[in-house]
Amino acid sequence: MSPAPYLALVLALGAVCQLVAYRLRVPSILFLLLAGFLLGQVVTPESVLGRDVLFAAVSLSVGIILFEGSLSLRFRELRGLGQTVVRLCTVTVAIAWAMITAAAMLAGVGWQLALLIGALLVVTGPTVIAPIVRQLRPTRRVSSMLRWEGIVVDPIGAVLAVLVFQAVIIAGPEPALGSAALTLGRTLLVATVLTVVFGVVLEVAMRRHLLPDYLEGVVFLAAAVGALVVSNELQAESGLLTVTMLGIYLANRPGLRLDHVREFKEHLQVLIVGALFVLLAGRVSPAEVVAVAPTALVFVTLLILVVRPASIWLGLLGTSATREERTLLSFMAPRGIVAAAVTSIFALEIEQAAQEAAAEVAVGGRSPQEALLLDAQAERLSALVVESADLVPLVFVTIVVTVAVYGLGVGRLAERLGLATTVPNGVLIAGAPPWARQAAAVLQGLKVPTLLVSLSPGEVSQARLAGLRVERTHILSEYAVEDMELAGIGSLVAATFDDDTNSTAAREFSHTLGTSRTFQLRRQGEGLSDREVAEGGAPPAGRAGRRKAREEEGTAARTTTQAKRRTAPKLTAQVAFQPALSAPELEDRVRQGMQVRQTRLTSHHTLSDFRERQPDAVLMFVVQDGRATVVDRGTTVPETGATLVALVRPRAGL
């Protein structure tokens, strides 16, 4: 197969697998690995792309993924979590490395490769953590801890693997601690210098508006790739640390807006993740998996049941992490693309080191003592090549099992611990007028989480007196957009009296909740009758001969007037409720005595019966199987089997 059809197939499989996983609400990595594994039995990526091109692309792609993830890491998220996150990225890593090494040795792996495996598998990674967090939507604290650990530990694991590789595998049986310390020092120096250089240049370019909006994402991508390559050239495998530090630096510069960059990188990351997992899984054969299965079973069992819980509980002793948070973290350590990619790279480097040692032995002219040492080194590396043949399939099995166990099982655990929900069905209402408070109280009685957001002291105090969950803030404030707790929330109804605020809030929260789950009230002045819109338009018809022309002019004028008044669709959201009413219109209905009530639709009291008794009711929410759905003009409300929440006239006694 030629490269073009193969790459097209890889991209298509990546997209389809992620879409299917989204629909089934399971980790996409499972489908991606399966698809890549099956494709690899037909055609391997190395046979199409070549080894050098394949691993160059993998290295660059992993760097881009880490750069994108690090752009989301902001220090303000660490308020009250600083010590916990530092421990997760240092003490916990050290404990995990030691225990994973011990687990690998217990499973039958030699001590040298066991040290390398321990370094490679301390990572979790954004490619597996981000989709699970997006689906699970845990509390802000848990989300911050998981994301910081997943992104920051990835380059730490890569650097640790480099140190082990150079000090243990290349240096020989006696670890060269001095060489390892020198390598670590150079890595930190290179990463720091390049972070400052690239970071300052990009920051100056942004602040002085040297980059047009449409080029920001491309320029940042080029800068990240450039920093990665330069760093790796100056110090082997230091690039991942460099791009991670660069992303964190840029994300935390005050006043630096990176919205276009983040949006561009998010889309690119989804594409890259799908392709990478398909490509790397295609390098593993069924025979390799079967051969390593007994060792892998023992090893992964120890990782899940012993290593992760012990490293979390020991590493986080004395921190602010609660018992529930530590329990959830103890069962949340799926391995991702960094572990797969770096393992593949080091397996090749062991093979290359053995080939170079054999070539040196073939060169004569050395003393007997030097020749003896070279022979011993060549034999040792040749033995490691044979032993490392199981390295890639072992890590492959580890990724599959950990993603399956953690991805499929963590939801129920998080729900029991009260830290997340697998099916967010709560409703966030921007604004807290009387009808919104009534609706929140009714939904709360139906076990649907609600959150009101308002700046009005009166509205906030009334909501609190009613026992409702409310935040006193503006819906577009930095706190609301970035830090407000949204665990359990699945939908937004923007219901302030400012239509522009409603539209902006709906667009902003669609990044978190999804476009299909964000709504706003009908904008004031829209949806008027033709007569109202045409007011001030063409004068009344005069003579009969000019009537037709005047009617045509009037129609054109009305169309133009409507187009001028109507908000552009891309700047607004779905309009909530049936019928769609504006904020003042809902307020008028409440003043007329209408109230938000719940009605159970049954065979004895169907939706048709309800409409007959309440012809002017405003249908707001449908609660079915414990999930609340916002009613809009396109919603088909079931006749029976659901609870309807609507603004009705109380005379019906509902």
Q: What is the pLDDT of residue 41?
A: 87
In terms of phi and psi (left: phi > 0; alpha: psi -120 to 50; beta: otherwise), the region of 578 is: beta
Tokens, residue 266: 């998010």
Distance CA 42, CA 568 (A): 49
If you search the block for the tokens 């940042």, which residue do you land on?
Answer: 220
Q: Is 254 left (phi over 0), alpha (psi -120 to 50) or beta?
A: beta
Q: How confident is the model at residue 330 (pLDDT cuts 50, 70, 90)?
A: very high
- For the cut 80, the answer to whether the pLDDT of residue 447 exceeds it is yes
Q: What is the pLDDT of residue 554?
A: 62
Task: For residue 429, give the 3-state DSSP assignment.
Answer: strand
**Could you tell me the two tokens for 507?**
């667009």
* Average pLDDT value for residue range 469-483: 88
Q: What is the distance between the alpha carbons of residues 474 and 301, in angstroms, rounded to a whole number?
A: 48
Q: How far is CA 460 from CA 447, 463, 494, in A?
A: 21, 5, 16
What whole-number distance in Å separates Cα of residue 500 and Cα of residue 581? Answer: 16
Would you place residue 537 in the very low, low, confident or very high pLDDT band (cuts 50, 70, 90)? Answer: very low
Burial 487-519 (b: 16+ CB within 10 A, else e): bbbbbbbbbbebbebbbbbbbbbbeebeeebbb
Q: Which residue has the tokens 């993830």?
A: 69
Q: Say which range, 13-22, 101-110, 415-424, has the weakest mean pLDDT.
A: 415-424
SS3 619: strand
Q: What is the pLDDT of residues 137-159, one digit of tens each?
A: 788 888 888 888 888 888 888 88
Query: How do beta strands 518-520 and 489-494 pair?
Result: parallel
Q: Are 513 and 630 in contact (CB under 8 A)?
A: no
Residue range(s) of every CATH 1.20.1530.20 domain in the chain: 3-282+293-417
Element (H, E) at 615: none
Rg (C-alpha) for the chain, rounded Å, is 30
Strand order in the sheet with 618-624: 595-601, 642-648, 618-624, 627-630
Range 543-556 average pLDDT: 56
Mean of pLDDT over the chain:
83
pLDDT score for 650: 80
**Phi/psi of residue 335, each to 5°?**
-95, 150
- The pLDDT score that the predictor gives to residue 365 is 62
Lowest-confidence segment of 57-61, 290-294, 501-505, 563-567 by average pLDDT:
563-567
Residue 12, CB-side half-sphere exposure with 13 Å CA sphere: 7
Q: What's the pLDDT tens digit per position in 8-30? A: 999 999 999 989 988 887 778 88
Q: Which residue has the higher pLDDT, 485 or 522?
A: 522
Please give the pLDDT value at position 531. Answer: 40
Average pLDDT rounded to a whole number, residues 615-630: 90
Per-residue pLDDT reduced to its tens digit, 634-646: 888 999 989 999 9
- For a pLDDT cut of 70, what percent of the chain falls above it? 88
Mean pLDDT for the stretch of residues 57-68: 86
CATH number of 3-282+293-417, picked from 1.20.1530.20, 3.40.718.10, 1.20.1090.10, 1.20.200.10: 1.20.1530.20
pLDDT of res. 366: 67
- At 172 the pLDDT is 53
Cα 375 to Cα 277: distance, rounded to the nearest angstrom: 39
CB atoms within 10 A of CB 625: 8
Contacts of 291 (CB under 8 A, 6+ apart): 390, 393
For β-strands 470-472 and 489-494, DSSP reports them as unpaired
Extract the tokens encoding 394.
Answer: 């072992």
Residue 133 has pLDDT above 80, yes or no: no
Which pLDDT score, from 0 to 100, does residue 533 have?
38
**Which of 97-101, 480-484, 495-499 has the weakest average pLDDT?**
480-484
Of residues 332 and 349, more confidence is placed in 332
- pLDDT for 653 beyond 50: no
CATH class belonging to 426-523+572-652 = alpha beta
Binned at pLDDT 50, 70 and 90, residue 472 comes out as: very high
State the Cα–Cα distance between residues 59 and 228, nearest whole angstrom.
Answer: 9
Arithmetic mean of pLDDT, 433-459:
93
Lowest mean pLDDT among 162-176, 230-244, 548-562, 595-609: 548-562
Higher pLDDT: 468 or 545? It is 468
pLDDT band at 281 (very low <50, low <70, confident <90, very high): confident
Decide: 561 and 616 in contact? Cβ < 8 Å.
no
Query: In this predicted structure, what is the pLDDT of residue 536?
Result: 36
The identity of residue 257, as a single letter, is R
Q: How confident is the model at residue 161 (pLDDT cuts 50, 70, 90)?
A: confident
- Kindly report which listed range (197-201, 337-341, 529-533, 642-646) carries the lowest average pLDDT score: 529-533
Ranges in the chain annotated CATH 3.40.50.720: 426-523+572-652
pLDDT-wise least confident of 73-82, 328-337, 374-383:
374-383
Distance in angstroms (rounded) separating the CA atoms of residues 158 and 187: 11
Confidence at residue 169, expressed as pLDDT on a 0 to 100 scale: 64
pLDDT at 98: 94
Decide: 541 and 547 in contact? Cβ < 8 Å.
yes
pLDDT at 474 over 60: yes
CA-based nearest residue to 397, from 294, 503, 502: 294
Statement: residue 399 has pLDDT above 60 = yes
Helix, strand, coil distribution of the chain in percent, nearest 5: 65, 10, 25
Higher pLDDT, 240 or 226: 226
Dihedral sign (CA 421, 152, 476, 515): negative
- CA dihedral over 288, 292, 293, 296, signed as positive or negative: negative
pLDDT given for residue 468 in this prediction: 94
Rounded Cα–Cα distance for residues 102 and 114 (Å): 7
- Residues 558-614 have pLDDT tens digits of 555 555 666 666 677 889 999 999 999 999 999 999 999 999 999 888 999 999 999
User: What angle separates helix 308-315 from helix 323-330, to the nearest 10 degrees?
Assistant: 150
User: Which has more confidence, 366 or 430?
Assistant: 430
